[in-house]
Amino acid sequence: MKKFIISAITVSLTLALSACGDGDDGKDGVNGINGSDGENGLISLIKQTALPIGDNNCLNSGVRIESGLDTNSNNVLDENEVSDTQYVCAPTITEITAADIASNSYNPWYVDGAAEITKAEAVWEKVTAQVNKSASATKVAFAKTQAEVESLRGKAKNVILFVGDGMGVSTVTAARILEGQTKGLMGEENQLSFDKFPFAGLVKTYNVDAQTPDSAGTMTAMMSGVKSDVGVIGVDENIVYGDCSTVSGNEMITALELAEIAGKSTGIISTARITHATPAATYAKSANRNWEDVSDMPQSAIDGGCEDIASQLVNFEANLEARYAGINVDGIEVVMGGGRRHFLPKDAAFNSADAVSSVEGDRTDSRNLITEWQGQYPQGSYIMDKAGFDSLNTSTTSRLFGLFNESHMQYEADRENDIAGEPSLAEMTAKAIDILDNNEKGFFLSVESGRIDHAHHAGNAYNALKDAIELSKAVQVAVDATDDEDTLIIVTADHSHVFTIAGYPKRGNPILGKVVGVGSEEASLASDGMPYTTVGYTNGLGYRDLGDETDADAAYATGPVTGRVDLSNVNTQAPGFHQEALVPLGSETHAGEDVGVYAMGPGAQLVTGTNEQSLIFHIMEFAGDLSNTQ
């Protein structure tokens, strides 16, 4: 039987049964009524059937048209009589209506962010007009710029968002100096890759219910344009933390989801678990950021129909299509990070080659989400080590799922100690872009350096700064691999930490060293007669001297250290040195001050001044026209 599919044609959905003459032997056969010798004539029938939204042959509804000869002369086209089938399908939806995103667009945070974009456009047009009046030469020079401002929406074919988790302004400054000193410079004059971006501003990071935020609420703001509460993912502030029943109706659509609907390729990279708060906010909806797998959820949430975050990642395509009738997406093309334990059953038989725990998997529902993903995408590549990563052919790889560690990936300084080997953040970024840029419609990519945050929590500046430097390298890879004419790159942080640069060290003094004042060669002494370091923490675990230890998490083996320590004979520049902390806590905390945001490419000029964190979504959506509204 022949089968055809005709897309994007408007047709009547009326059911019909029609007939026409086919009097093979009829001398005077007319319209199926045969002449005296027409006893072998057959009637040809056509049958039309309306198809609902979600039909396998017409995802956004349509009509099935079947035809054939009525061989049993019952004037009904039976299934065995169908010789030809055609499908006339309604076009697939590639944009979301205002009603579809009402939960986003009616939210005050969203409305304010959209208004800021309009205001920024007006400011740029006004500035350009003023400059144009100054001189004819200037007017000619700015004519192109003015035209670009007026037609800004949609100029970014590709959008890349880099998030340094916990990378506050002091972290950026210290990382810049450390990288410079590693190069043999004094340090302060050095520039990280994103320091060179033409536009920069500040972002206010508070959550709706918190002065000092967490990563779940902050990344939700960046991805949805709506600020939300501490500890919740992909939902607005009307959510009740930990209450499954309050998720429905409060879900936000994200920039990544809009990119999928628009036909772009999408990718998520993190050095943390891929189910951790920051990467999860690109794809998941959850009343609790800790519901990374079913074993983390209370029975009431499971019974209430809430889905764990790892499962939401694997079911992303189906979940998104179920939320918005008529769309047809192909799922996230690139996923790389840690967190294998949340995808595997709690059974040693499923352990990976580099499992650290005796039982690697955490799932108590016996599901193996890795094999489920492979079943959905048989042409995709699943990898779990550096060898598999290096062997990938990006020109033929259409889909990639990489889980490189049982939990978080290694700190950059500790990466060579990984059992199976892990790619660096820069390497993952390069590989992702090589795969995603095969789509002529462009791509959206979110890249998180997640372990800056973890090193700060452990009170270890060495690892925090090394991972921030690696983020800078990843940004440079993206700059080199893309064209600033069609790619918007934004670099920012979700929040900062209580990490300080203090004292009066002289220019070029080792940023991880003890304070040595201008004109001196000896360490400065505090009022207690002991030296002190340039960088330190307001709170946390405090002093540790672990020598060459490159795993910052080793700090948690012992409790907080209170009071001052004599550092006279301690190498404070060693990887395992953990700075002193004023207030002893089991873990160092986030801070509440603004963080930096840096941008280049189409739409980058919208990154200026001090803004709500939710504005980042609006800049990405506007520059990339992710909602297809131009």
CB 231 within 8 A of CB 241: yes
Cα separation of the two ends of the chain: 43
Beta strand residue intervals within 8-157, DSSP E? 17-20, 44-53, 60-69, 82-89
The two tokens of residue 274 are 């891929």
List, as one string, the DSSP characters of 615-628. Answer: HHHHHHHHHHTTT-
The two tokens of residue 134 are 């100054």
Name the CA radius of gyration of the chain, rounded: 30
Which positions ≥6 away from 582 have C-beta within 8 Å?
536, 537, 538, 539
Which positions ≥6 away from 38 have C-beta within 8 Å?
23, 24, 25, 26, 27, 28, 29
Distance CA 215, CA 420 (A): 29
What is the strand order of the sheet 82-89 is part of? Answer: 2-7, 82-89, 60-69, 44-53, 17-20
Distance CA 112, CA 204 (A): 14
Distance CA 68, CA 74 (A): 13
The answer for 47, left when phi > 0, alpha when psi is -120 to 50, beta otherwise, is beta
Distance CA 164, CA 460 (A): 16
Distance CA 404, CA 388 (A): 10
CB 342 within 8 A of CB 372: no
Q: Which amino acid is at 199?
A: F
Distance CA 562, CA 582 (A): 8
Distance CA 483, CA 460 (A): 36
CA–chain centroid gap for 58, Å, is 30
The answer for 275, left when phi > 0, alpha when psi is -120 to 50, beta otherwise, is alpha
To the nearest 10°, report the CA torsion of 352, 311, 225, 438. Answer: 60
Which sequence positions are flagged as catalytic? 215
Residue 590 φ then ψ, to 5°: -65, 165
| Parallel/antiparallel/unpaired status of strands 590-591 and 595-600 | unpaired
Compute the residue count for the chain. Answer: 630
CB 580 within 8 A of CB 533: yes
Q: Which residues face 2 on adjacent strands?
A: 84
Q: Which of 269, 266, 257, 265 is nearest to 402 (CA)?
A: 269
Angle of CA points 579, 582, 587, to nearest 5°: 70
CB 156 within 8 A of CB 483: no
The two tokens of residue 457 are 């929590």
CB 174 within 8 A of CB 146: no
